[in-house]
Amino acid sequence: RWIQGIMLKHNIEPFKDTDKLAFGASFGLPPGRVGRTDWSNGYKALEDACQGVLFPHDKQVYHSLGGFKEAANEPWCQFTVRRVSA
């Protein structure tokens, strides 16, 4: 639901089911947890959270954008979704 709140706040329209998309995610975790985290699970969880909200289906994701991980005082994540040109 938090993704829907962000979209409403910023007047972001969901992508159409015909759009090809690129998806990327970056993460920051407290020191000591950065090396013990399975980043692929976090990435997929964000992609799944966007499904049905920001885009109709994750089969539209044709490309993974580069992300990064870093130590941070508080946990954070950032994701990017872009339309891929035909």
Q: Please compute the mean of the pLDDT values over residues 76-85 and round it to a whole number.
A: 89
DSSP code at position 75:
-
**DSSP-assigned letters across all residues of 8-45:** HHTTPPPPPTT--EEEEEEEEE-TTTGGG--HHHHHHH
d(C-alpha 72, C-alpha 85), whole Å: 34
pLDDT of residue 22: 95
- Check whether 82 has a pLDDT greater than 70: yes
What pLDDT digit, counting tens, does each position of 3-62 carry? 888 888 999 999 999 999 999 988 888 877 666 667 778 788 889 989 999 999 989 999
pLDDT of residue 45: 85
Q: Look at the alpha carbons of 12, 18, 19, 20 in this order and tell me if their dihedral is positive or negative.
A: positive
Higher-pLDDT residue of 85, 11: 11
| Cα–chain center distance at 19 | 16
